[in-house]
Amino acid sequence: MKKKFPAVMLILHLLALGVLIPAFLLSNNKSTFINILYCAAIAFIFSCIIYTIIYSRNSMRRISKMNQHLESSAAEFMNSLPAPVAVIDDNKQFVWYNQIFSEKIGLGQDVYGLNFESFVKMDVDMISKNGYAICPINGCIYNVTSEKFEKNDMSFLVMYFHDDTNFYTIKKEMVESHPNVVIITIDNYDEIMQNAKESEKAQTSVETEKLIENFMSKTNGFIKKTSSNTFFAIIENKHLNEIIEEKFKILDFARNIKISGKYPLTFSIGVGLGAHSLDESEKFARQCLDMALGRGGDQAVVKTDNGYKFFGGVSSGVEKRSRSKTRIIANALQDLISNCERVFIIGHRFGDLDSVGAACGIAGAVINLEKEAFIAVDRTKNLAVNLIDKIDKETDGALFITPSDAESMIAPNDLLVIVDTHNKDYIESRILYERARAIVVIDHHRKTVNFIDDAVIFHHEPYASSASEMVTELIQYFNYPNDDKIASCFADALLSGIMLDTKNFVMRTGVRTFEAAAFLKKLGADTIAVKHLFSNSIDSYRRKTQIVASAKIHNNCAIASADFNSEDIRIVAPQAADELLGITDVDASFVIYSTNNTVNISARSLGGLNVQVVMEQLGGGGHQTMAAAQLENITLEEAAKALITAIDDCKNSSTDL
């Protein structure tokens, strides 16, 4: 038809011309010729229209055949691709897929009409939004991309599966083989070895090195002893992750090594995980080791993206008998006081006898050094108002000021001393801390993540019974101009702080604690006057007994809730927790009470359970035998459930709590 149709039209046109020309030559009537010419023109136009219609129809047929040929070729091409390809419609159902998709993704199954997201287990919208998605399927890892096309008012998505299994396998091997620095130290090695026999030292050294060699034998890393109590190790990620999953069992094995048959050996471990280089890993490991030592030792610390993760920490800190560090810090502190204009002292929020007592001890020493001292406290939120009133009566009454006054008074040449806390979030005045140029921290609590890191002197001893004990030791080494002793009222304040945190010399009491108390007694501390600071009213005593009576025993823990509000609840609740420890077979006690929109938990222990670990799970902290936590926007019942869960987790932990 393509060749015939133009030939016929040409013949017809030639015949028409053959008729018209003789007619023009032979005709004498011009009008007749014109009529014939009109008829020929009409016939010519009509023939052209017919030609156009017929030719266009045949063109459409040719184009349709060409499209069908192209679609068939594309389908054959996509079907022969070495990568899986599938097409889904608007309803995310399969409408087409190639042979390799059927083999690798479908595993021979007919998936026509099935839902793509249900079969492949991935979100199509996420692929369209991000441009790709990583999807593990049948032991392979695919990078899935999509391309949208429309046809006949219908839209389709072509899903391309790029096999990146080899890439991710190599990447995984690189990540697993990444080296990390691990630093292991023996806690207080010199202290516990100084009285040991040479044979005991040698035996301990052999057992320790065997333990560490066994620890490293499960890895392909190496370890080097750099000093008598320090080891440096390089461990790959894949082995280090296994050690972390096992919660550093080496800590438990180390406690089985006992010097002279009674002093257990403990390790502190810093892990430099997540670093990009060995230099950065060594830096992280030292930071973690400092954190472990600052929390009392016997634990491993791993740096994470959100801070630190702790393992172990179940043993009490070994008391250091040497006072060389205390003497050095005392001399440095006295130099700072001598070179400043004034000294401002603050403790933690809702200060207690230890916080206020330690502040009073520093203030008494500063006054003897002939410098101005101010203690910033909020009397409306303080648990040691009795002590504050006592000091006011026995001094000129200008020692205690409000935090706002201190914030406006402090100058660049002034010194700020922070006692009984090292956490930026717990200090009495954050503004005062930020405005101070020179800062000294004196604290005995186990180190937390958000610690003050810009202090000129950071005196931190987690094995000390109280901040008051630490201050008492420091002021012994001060050289006063007139060899005067601090006033007896300041000695009373320090003794009250020691008695509070030791529960009248029962808990966390060492040799140095009694030595500090003896020194305060020489300064004129009155034990009867101190005892009066702990007295309560009859109403407070009734509230305390009410809390004790509401206690329930769970997993050898006494848990009580105070469902009432009172002005002295912050004093009564810890006292009730102390009372609950007197119950038979109780390892720890917890008292839950609310203040405004905050639920508080006061935790106490005699050593059978590390309450610090329990409270840390709830966002709090403290010591092994005394800790606390605060929970926002939660009810007492919900807090009790969260507490029970935390207790059970600690009890069921592989680490011996």
Over residues 324-335, the pLDDT tens digits come to 778 888 998 999
pLDDT for res 94: 86
pLDDT for res 468: 95
pLDDT for res 445: 85
pLDDT for res 45: 62
Residue 221 or 70, more confident: 221
Whether 290 has a pLDDT exceeding 90, the answer reads: no
Could you tell me which residues come within 8 angstroms of residue 213 by beta carbon, excluding any fewer than 6 positions away?
A: 223
The model's confidence at residue 67, banded by pLDDT at 50, 70 and 90, is very low
Whether 267 has a pLDDT exceeding 60, the answer reads: yes
293-304: pLDDT as tens digits: 877 788 899 987
Both ends of the chain: CA-CA distance in Å? 97
pLDDT for res 203: 86
Angle (nearest 5°) at CA 608 between 347 and 245: 90
Question: What burial class does residue 149 get, using C-beta atoms within 10 Å of its C-beta: 0-12 exposed, 13-18 middle, 19+ buried?
Answer: exposed
The model's confidence at residue 576, banded by pLDDT at 50, 70 and 90, is very high
pLDDT for res 36: 57
Lowest mean pLDDT segment, chosen from 48-57, 379-388, 418-427, 508-517: 48-57
Share of residues in the chain with pLDDT > 90 (%): 35
pLDDT for res 4: 44
pLDDT for res 74: 57
299: three-class secondary structure by DSSP: strand
pLDDT for res 232: 94
pLDDT averaged over every residue in the chain? 83
Mean pLDDT, to the nearest integer, of 92-107?
84
pLDDT for res 291: 83
The model's confidence at residue 645, banded by pLDDT at 50, 70 and 90, is very high
pLDDT for res 549: 93
Whether 71 has a pLDDT exceeding 80, the answer reads: no
Place of tokens 């009694």: 514
pLDDT for res 68: 47
Residue from 379, 383, 423 nearest 404 by CA:
379
Residue 592 or 153, more confident: 592
Lowest mean pLDDT segment, chosen from 18-22, 107-111, 183-187, 242-246: 18-22
CA distance 295 to 268: 10
pLDDT for res 63: 39
pLDDT for res 6: 54
**pTM (2 decimals)?**
0.64
CA distance 464 to 287: 22
DSSP assignments along 11-66, one per residue: HHHHHHHHHHHHHHHH---HHHHHHHHHHHHHHHHHHHHHHHHHHHHHHHHHHHHH
Whether 29 has a pLDDT exceeding 70, the answer reads: no
Mean pLDDT, to the nearest integer, of 489-517?
90
The token duo for 448 is 């937390």
Residue 536 or 338, more confident: 338
The model's confidence at residue 62, banded by pLDDT at 50, 70 and 90, is very low
The model's confidence at residue 499, banded by pLDDT at 50, 70 and 90, is very high
pLDDT for res 201: 83
Question: Is residue 494 within 8 Å of residue 524, measured between CB atoms?
Answer: no
